[in-house]
């Protein structure tokens, strides 16, 4: 008997390959994607340094690394189906036997692989320019980083499903939510817990965003925060549970939303209508 990977795996691999190839096949793409995270991270690091608190410069560098992935989730995951629809690619997806969830997962994996060089360059530049003091607990960093990406890209899949019903609104929505989510998630400063400037109610809202939990856990595992115990799994186990639950539930939600919208689109005949 000849073993063959399922169509789901083959589809996910194919979509991942296309995305990876489109990024690594054009090295200039790194230059395109690195601009925003690099400059914002440098500016925030200089702002921290201007206050005299050099120990917090690492927050800005970490923020730059994670904002690269958030940007990718928003612009290359959430909006992707909408762009595919404009170009007529989405019609091919739905008329082929390829499972849409496999396409989304492949797109996510390709996005992570493709964003990694930009994120690494931001980290490298931050290290070269500022040499921020770190006190890492590497096993925790690896676990939290992986789970944060899983939850973030699952959120991207959910948004991709929802954006299917929108036209130009999707672009405007992306532009409108990019900065506020970065603010609430505390990309450059702690937005939840004792160090947060936000009132409790706002911290609760912020905690619903996977990036918030991930950023908080990454700061705890990478930096020595005053008044907190040294980083270990004790300090982040709640974060790990929360991120795992978020990743799982967002994946299920994405699948259900996609199915519902696909059925609605087929019924009303609007699934492949290009609105602009």
Partner 1 sequence: MSNVRSILASIWIGWYRDFSWTNPLLGLSLRTIPPIASVMAASIVYWWGSFHAGVFDPNRLAYIMIGALLYAHIAAYSMIPNLAIAEGKWTFVFTQVYMSPKSASPYLAGRTLGSFLSSAVTLFLALIAVYLLLPPLFGTSIPLVVTPLSFALFGLALVVNILASMGIGFLLGAYAIFATKFEWALPTYISGLLMIFSEALFPVTFLPGPLSQIANVLPFTEFIRAARAAMIYNDVSSYFYFLGLSAIGGLILLFAGLLAFRRAENRARRLGLLDRKVA
- The least CB distance from residue 263 to partner 1, in Å, is 26
Decide: 115 and 69 in contact? Cβ < 8 Å: yes
- The least CB distance from residue 120 to partner 1, in Å, is 18
Burial 23-55 (b: 16+ CB within 10 A, else e): beeeeeebeebbebbbebbbebbeebbeeeeee
Q: What is the DSSP letter of 230?
A: P
Nearer to partner 1, 13 or 129 (CB): 129
- The stretch among 119-127, 188-196, 207-215, 261-269 that binds partner 1 (CB under 8 A) is 188-196
User: Site residues for partner 1, window 204-233 (CB under 8 A)?
Assistant: 226
- The least CB distance from residue 95 to partner 1, in Å, is 25
Figure out which of the listed residues 92, 142, 176, 238 binds partner 1, where binding follows CB under 8 A.
176
Per-residue tokens: 84:
């595919």
Nearer to partner 1, 14 or 202 (CB): 202
- The least CB distance from residue 231 to partner 1, in Å, is 19
Angstrom distances, CA of residue 28 to CA of 25, 42, 125, 145, 266: 9, 21, 18, 26, 39
- The least CB distance from residue 179 to partner 1, in Å, is 4
Figure out which of the listed residues 36, 83, 99, 203 binds partner 1, where binding follows CB under 8 A.
36
Decide: 153 and 61 in contact? Cβ < 8 Å: no
| 89 interacts with partner 1 by CB under 8 A | no
Nearer to partner 1, 65 or 100 (CB): 65
Tokens 């939990």 belong to residue: 213
Decide: 152 and 214 in contact? Cβ < 8 Å: yes
Question: How many other C-beta atoms are found inside a 10 Å radius of the C-beta of residue 148?
Answer: 24
- The stretch among 139-147, 168-176, 207-215, 230-238 that binds partner 1 (CB under 8 A) is 168-176
User: Site residues for partner 1, window 44-73 (CB under 8 A)?
Assistant: 44, 46-53, 56, 60
Dihedrals φ, ψ of 193, to 5°?
Answer: 90, -170
| 42 interacts with partner 1 by CB under 8 A | yes
- The stretch among 108-116, 137-145, 178-186, 251-259 that binds partner 1 (CB under 8 A) is 178-186
CA 191 to mean position of chain CA atoms: 18
| 252 interacts with partner 1 by CB under 8 A | no
| 10 interacts with partner 1 by CB under 8 A | no
Q: Burial of 79 by CB count in 10 Å (0-12 exposed, 13-18 middle, 19+ buried)?
A: buried
Per-residue tokens: 46:
């200089």
Figure out which of the listed residues 99, 134, 189, 224 binds partner 1, where binding follows CB under 8 A.
189
Residue 227 CB partners (closer than 8 Å, separation 6+): 194
Nearer to partner 1, 71 or 106 (CB): 71
Tokens 């699948």 belong to residue: 255
**Interacting residue ranges for partner 1, rule: CB under 8 A:** 26, 28, 31-33, 35-36, 38-40, 42-44, 46-53, 56, 60, 167-169, 172-173, 175-180, 182-183, 187-190, 195, 197-198, 226
């Amino acid at each position: 008997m000849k073993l063959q990977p399922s169509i789901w795996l083959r589809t996910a691999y194919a979509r991942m390959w296309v995305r990876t190839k489109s990024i690594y096949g054009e090295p200039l793409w790194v230059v395109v994607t690195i601009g925003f995270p690099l400059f914002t991270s440098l500016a925030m690091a200089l702002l921290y340094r201007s206050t005299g608190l050099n120990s917090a410069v690492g927050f800005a560098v970490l923020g730059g690394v994670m904002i690269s992935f958030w940007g990718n989730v928003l612009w290359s995951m959430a909006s992707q189906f909408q762009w595919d629809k404009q170009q007529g690619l989405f019609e091919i997806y739905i008329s082929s036997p390829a499972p849409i969830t496999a396409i989304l997962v492949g797109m996510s994996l390709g996005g992570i692989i493709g964003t990694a060089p930009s994120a690494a360059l931001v980290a490298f530049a931050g290290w070269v320019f500022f040499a921020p003091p770190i006190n890492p607990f590497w096993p925790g960093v690896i676990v939290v980083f992986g789970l944060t990406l899983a939850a973030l890209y699952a959120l991207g899949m959910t948004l991709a499903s929802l954006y299917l019903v929108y036209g130009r609104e999707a672009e405007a929505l992306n532009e409108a939510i990019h900065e506020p989510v970065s603010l609430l998630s505390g990309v450059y400063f702690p937005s939840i817990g004792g160090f947060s400037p936000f009132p409790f109610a706002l911290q609760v809202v912020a905690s619903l965003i996977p990036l918030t939990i991930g950023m908080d856990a990454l700061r705890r595992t990478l930096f020595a925060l005053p008044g907190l115990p040294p980083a270990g799994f004790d300090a982040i186990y709640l974060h790990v549970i929360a991120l795992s639950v978020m990743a799982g539930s967002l994946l299920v939600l994405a699948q259900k939303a996609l199915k519902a919208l696909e059925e609605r689109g087929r019924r009303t005949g609007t699934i492949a209508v290009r609105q602009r």
